Amino acid sequence: MEITIRDDGSEISQQYSLECTGEQAAESSTLPNASKACLQLELDPGAIAGEVDPQEICTEIYGGPQRAEISGTLHGETVNTSFSRHNGCAIDRWDAASFLLGSVKT
């Protein structure tokens, strides 16, 4: 799985790889706390699933310009999803995946 983070919304600021065998991270993983991330993905794979429903009512709170993309496979399923912090729903989704995306730099 490849993780790309753009703190300013456009320029790549961090790029990591994560390879898990169940709850264990492979040595080739570059994500900080990779073992913890693999365990969390086993417990809650939905943290990186799907996108925000466009019909969902969300607070219009701007959380910052940060953007991130995750691509690869999880449990044999293709993952290709993006994250932002443009409203309350997107912020909640980012926070749920923060074990992969890290904390937001202000």
Total of domains in the chain: 1
Q: How far is the C-alpha of 25 from the C-alpha of 39, rounded, in Å?
A: 9
Can you give the pLDDT at residue 80?
A: 94
**Which H/E stretch holds residue 12?**
none
Can you give the pLDDT at residue 56?
A: 86
Structural domain including 12 reads 2-101
Using the predicted structure, report yes or no on whether residue 76 has a pLDDT greater than 80: yes
Q: How far is the C-alpha of 34 from the C-alpha of 69, rounded, in Å?
A: 17
Whether the pTM exceeds 0.85: the reply is yes
> CB 2: neighbour CB atoms within 10 A?
15
Can you give the pLDDT at residue 53?
A: 77
**106 within some domain:** no
Using the predicted structure, report yes or no on whether residue 50 has a pLDDT greater than 80: no
**81 within some domain:** yes
Report the candidate in 55, 35, 37, 8 with the shortest Cα–Cα distance to residue 96: 37
Mean pLDDT over 68-80 rounds to 92
**21 within some domain:** yes
Confidence of residue 58 (pLDDT cuts 50, 70, 90): very high
Q: Determine phi and psi for 77, rounding to 5 degrees.
A: -100, 140
**79 within some domain:** yes
Can you give the pLDDT at residue 106?
A: 57
Question: Could you tell me the CATH number of the domain that includes residue 84?
Answer: 3.30.350.10
Mean pLDDT over 11-38 rounds to 95
